[in-house]
Structure 1
Amino acid sequence: MEKVKILSPTAILGYGFPVKSFEAGLEKKPDVIAVDAGSVDPGPYYLGAGKSFTQRAAVKRDLYYMLKACVELNIPLLIGTAGGAGGRVHLMEVVEIIKELAFENDLSFKMAVIDTEIDKEWLKDKVRQRKTKPLGNLPDLTIEEIEEAVRIVAQAGMEPFIKALKAGAQVIVAGRAFDPAVFAAYPVAHGFDVGLSLHLGKILECAAIATEPGSGSDCLMGELDREGFVVYPLNPERRATPLSVSAHSLYEKTSPFELHGPGGKLDLSQVNFQAVDDRTVRVTGTKFIKTPNYYLKIEGVKRVGFRAISIAGSRDPKFIENFQSIASGVKKRVEDNFPELAGKYYLNFIAYGINGVMGALEPENKLSHEIGIVMDVVAEDKNTAEQILSFTRSTMLHFGFPGRISTAGNLAFSFSPSDIPVGDVYNFSIHHLVEVEDPEKLFPIEHIEIGGRGGGKTY
């Protein structure tokens, strides 16, 4: 094999794609279909709550086309970070969807299920052995943080996918995984360069986002050879350019020349992006540098309370002009009214039109003619959160300020009821690296024979 063709249908499983683009990709006779199904971008809630941030029906729709294609073409399908966050509960939801589709469409194949949720006792031992270290400016991982965590996952690298491929699996679905790993596993298993394979995976992970105009809901094709790779969109309305592809190489990275991942890093300092035609880009020069020790990224969340919000607006120029002092005054009134709850709640105002996006970093001092206000309360329990929010909302509604004309109220509410219970709140409490001796051993693989309408069995 001198070339590998990889079809990336969509940026995240459930984001969708035009059927015509997907069919155009199938006409190129891909060797493998791969898709990343999640991210930490939507925040810690989904990992903690055990819920997917893409809807089940949308995931099933995307999988319908992918599963049928991989069976008809007799090629592998690799899925990483199942269910959006990659916990065991997320993984099993996607597994159940796959089983449903196999039964409904009489599809038969061998499936491997890779569990990436971490056992707390195993991780505690790693802390005691000083085999963990923080990412960024976080403190060292502690036994207490592990105990408080609701769910902990590790980002699997290529190795478990390669192991499952070599065992004969055609459909591989995994929990949390390093985004490029699902794309790089197949070519690396067939002897292709690790650096080029991972870099191609980095470009393919978000599908047509790496094109102009970019879209996470459209397909991208990658073709890898022994010296480099090319990428091109399947939709004639898009094109890959050196700018669009190189820009995506910078995506979600702290350095333009390095991309760290399980077991090593990509060296992009000598990479060349060259236009083959007006829709295709060729990439060469990527190198992979192994680290002396093999580290995996681990992610864990803990519950910190319950959130309730109220959304209001104002276009009173005097209210807007005095908003910061009004917000401070309302917070003081809440503190005075509920001294027994001191330290048991968090109250914040997000003012869109003033500094709702940038907060204290906002460089502009211009005031909008109208603002939107989100009153955000997090407390230990639902009743406390709603109690604080109700008092906050009513206090701001009637709070006095210099130049006030309206006595009926300061705020306009778009919704009734105005107070909205959001639900449990989670924080990322674990965002660390853990050293492992064997990159496969941590991730158990279950092999299942899917027999279409005839059922299946574990083997």
Structure 2
Amino acid sequence: MESSCNAETLCHIITPVGMLGYGFDESLTKQALGSLKESPAPTALVLDSGSTDGGPLKLATGSMTAPRSAYERDFAKLLSLSHEFHVPVIISSAGGDGSDAHVDEFLDIIEEIVRDVRNKPYKFKVLAIYSSVPKAKVLEHLAAGEVEGCGSSVPPLTSADVERAGPIVAQMGHEPFLDAMIAQPDFDIIIGGRAYDPSPYIAYCAYQARQGFSLPLKALSTQQLGGFAFMGKIMECGALCSTPKSSSAMAKIYLDGTFDIVPLSMGSICTPTSVAAHTMYEKTRPDILPGPGGKLDLNSSQYEQLPDNRSVRVRGAKYISARELNLPYTVKLEGAKTVGYRTLIMGGIRDPILIGQIDSFLTRVKEFVKQQHSSLTEEWEVDFHVYGANGIMGAHEPGESSYRPREIFLVGEALASSQKLATSIASSARIACVHGPYPGQRGTSGNFAMGQGGKLEIEMGPCAEFCIYHLIPLKPGEEGASPILDGHDQDPAGTKGVAPLFSWKVVEFGSMEPWATESRLPEATASSSRREMRPLPTAHVGLNLSNPSKLQEIAPVIRSKNSGPYEITLDVLFSDETIYSLVKSSNLLTSATIARLYHLKDDEVIYCGFYDQAKAFKATILRKRKGQVRPSGGFMETDVHGSQQYAGLLELELSGDIRTSIRKIFSSNRERESTL
């Protein structure tokens, strides 16, 4: 990356992939590390491993986002890179949920790799940081009235929610990572529990400011911390900010908080618009991003294309500390509970006579199931996803209710207090779907094309639901981490008598460890790696500026994503400044428009506005199912990521004035080009 920044270079950070366990091309990272060998500025590999994107099952049952074999594969690559180039590896939110058990499981994976006979030279000092919160502490805050939902859509917390939850984790800020780094400056690897996504990035930058420039955390300005936090917020997704999006990214961070960012894939580039647009991704709003102990203010952020035409320089972000505003330092708690057991049935329906009356038919199916289980006292539920009609968007579907597809795919869900009962419910529903009569029926041998995967009923195990997504305040000193010595936490706050909420320990692997005689872990070689998915062409497909009629014809990006478990956010990005200004000054995209399209009440649109830096519009709405506010991933979930909910905007009709204005702009540009 070419640079004319006047500030001194602080460090470099490489993120090989936006989610550990998803696989990455280590040759790209190796090439980037090789290019930095002569740089005096330190370098680290930093990766996020967690999210609520995949739903609540991890927290409720102890499962992980990716299978253990996927983490073994990625760790084998990372440890090889760390050993070869002598760079630290920092990972947050182990296993997806960041529970203590998954921090320890990541330690086990590292130990197995180091003990492999092929890795005899390996020697690593690992710092493990834990983020679990005792239920007693949560109940204490609850009794004191100090717990509030993380957002207006989150229901109040109850003591029953706390008691029924599995492990409860708190999203760490940068302080626990920084405390551990300062105490053990010769660390090689850090495995962190649940953390705010930018936290390890902020911590590494703050650590290098302390080590290389004698600037302690308290001496860093709002611009410096703002730059570190904004860089982390972008980098934790890998090179998702590039166009076309790709997996791996590198940032060069300067002492004043300015940073440059570039994708490692040569088939992708960063542009000011693509980087600015990432501020909107999976956020409730694009300008103010809250986090542990403060907020990131992006209202003055600036984006500059660098001479290589692949890198973008970013400056102007500010980090506003809550305590500077006389507000408490808060952390977000996350927890989930098991609400029963689930069994599925799946199959297709092709008969147009039945498709034309599918709603009334499924009502009779439910009545049959109820009649067959009328003697039961246990609670149970059964419901259906009708794919091909409104299976994904449900009540938010903007299409005509009279629409009938040629075929539908039916997924029935049964939820009950035991797996046995859930399967009984599902079996009765399947039988009714297969053999239930309906007016005008011609095919009397069966209504339901079933047997996908060779099973008639598919037992899914526990069904989980988020029950804790709440903020608690911390006392000064609680936001850090204390070392675990001889099995006991030690309080470095000492004089204040306030024990940090988080803790960390040192684990050393290699050198004196006996090596395994057989190898069962994957080799970290370029030949065995799964190459990253190749970027697609950058041309905007489907735009029609000569005679547009719908929103999808003038906006190259229309997307949706969950913003936490209780919200879905919608983004519309424009590539042309004039068209963006035209839409912004019109009444095309408003809170009322979003409410109408998605069948919401006005107060169920949480945020609505334009963001000039990205030439974009954003709206955030409540996540609802069957007319009720529901968190992601529970019973009858249809889109846990929320990534298909944008479809309601694609067909939005443009007004006559907008159409005419765009046609004039397009014609004028075409005439100008023809005269050149």
- TM-score band by shorter chain is over 0.9
Counterpart position of 1:141: 157
Tell me how far apart the structure 2 counterparts of residues 321 and 35 of structure 1 sit (CA, whole Å): 50
Output the CA distance in 2 between the equivalents of 1:231 and 1:61.
Answer: 27
1:183 match: 201
Q: Deviation of residue 102 (structure 1)?
A: 2.0
What is the 5 A alignment of 1:306-321?
Answer: 306-321=341-356
Q: CA deviation at 1:19?
A: 2.4
How much identity, in percent, do the aligned residues show?
A: 35
Deviation at 1:243, TM superposition (A): 2.3
The structure 1 segments of at least 4 consecutive aligned residues displaced by more than 4 Å after TM superposition are none
Matched, 1:352 2:391: no
Contact 1:335-1:342 at 8 Å conserved across structures = no
What CA distance in whole angstroms lies between the structure 2 residues aligned with 1:147 and 1:75? 42
**3-state DSSP of counterpart to 2:251:** strand
Q: 1:220 aligns with which of 211, 231, 249?
A: 249
2-side partners of 1:100 and 1:325: how far apart? 57
The corresponding residue for 1:96 is: 108
Unaligned runs of 5+ in 2: 1-7, 37-41, 210-219, 481-499, 516-676
Q: Pick closer, same or farther for the CA change 1:320–1:170 going to 2, 3 Å.
A: same
Specify every segment of 5 or more residues in structure 1 that has no aligned partner in the other structure, as ranges.
Answer: none
Name the counterpart of 1:26: 33
1:415 is paired with a residue whose SS is helix
Is the alpha carbon distance of 1:21 and 1:339 closer, same or farther for their aligned partners in structure 2, counting shifts above 3 Å?
A: same
1:53 to partner: Cα distance: 1.9
1:72 and 1:19, CA in 2 relative to 1: closer, same or farther beyond 3 A?
closer
Q: Which of 457, 479, 484 is 1:439 aligned to?
A: 479
Structure-2 residue corresponding to 1:381: 418
Partner letter of residue 311 of structure 2?
T
CA distance in 2, matches of 1:138, 1:323: 34
Q: Is the 8 A contact 1:25 1:219 kept in 2?
A: no
How far apart, CA to CA, are the structure 2 residues paired with 1:301 and 1:339? 31
> SS at the partner of 2:47?
strand
| Superposed displacement of residue 233, structure 1 | 0.9
Cα deviation per residue 1:381-418 (whole Å; 9 max; x = unaligned)? 01110010000000011122222211111110123221
Contact 2:279/2:287 (<8 A) preserved: no
The answer to whether 1:194 aligns with 2:225 is yes
Letter in 1 for 2:436: F
CA distance in 1, matches of 2:504, 2:259: 31
Q: Mark the structure with the bigger radius of gyration.
A: 2
Alignment-derived partner of residue 120 in structure 1? 135
Deviation at 1:356, TM superposition (A): 0.7
- Alignment match, 2:124: 109
Aligned-pair distance for 1:342?
6.2
Distance 2:66 2:150 in 1: 27
1:19-75 deviation line (CA, Å, top 9, x unaligned) = 221112212326111000111101001111111121222211211221222233333
Evaluate the alpha carbon distance shift between residue 274 and residue 241 of structure 1 in structure 2; reply closer, same or farther with a 3 A threshold.
Answer: same
CA distance in 1 between counterparts of 2:13 and 2:311 reads 15
Q: Deviations over 1:151-202 (max 9, x none)?
A: 2111111111111111222211011111111222100223361110010001
**SS in structure 2 of the partner of residue 444 of structure 1:** strand
- Deviation for aligned residue 1:142: 2.3
For the residues of structure 1 that align with 2:372 and 2:115, how far apart are their CA atoms?
60
- Indicate conservation of the 8 Å contact 1:116/1:153, yes or no: yes
Once the two structures are TM-superposed, the CA of residue 430 in structure 1 deviates from its matched residue by 0.6
For the Cα contact (< 8 Å) 1:250–1:256, is it kept in 2? Answer: yes
Q: Secondary structure at 1:20's aligned position in 2?
A: helix
Q: Distance in 2 between matches of 1:248 and 1:434?
A: 28
Q: What is the distance in 2 between the residues matched to 1:34 and 1:301?
A: 27
Measured on the aligned residues, the alpha-carbon RMSD in Å equals: 1.7
- Hey, what does 1:363 align to over in structure 2? 398
TM-score after normalising by structure 2: 0.65
> 1:387–1:76: structure 2 CA closer, same or farther, 3 Å change rule?
same
Partner-residue secondary structure (3-state), 2:95: coil
The residue aligned with 2:74 is 62
Residue type at the aligned position of 1:374: V
Match of 1:244 among 274, 293, 305: 274
Structure 1 range deviating more: 193-202 or 22-31: 22-31
2:457 to 411, 419, 427: 419
Alpha-carbon separation, structure 2, partners of 1:200 and 1:343: 51
Name the SS for the 1:178 alignment partner.
Answer: coil
Q: For 1:26, what is the secondary structure of its paired residue?
A: helix
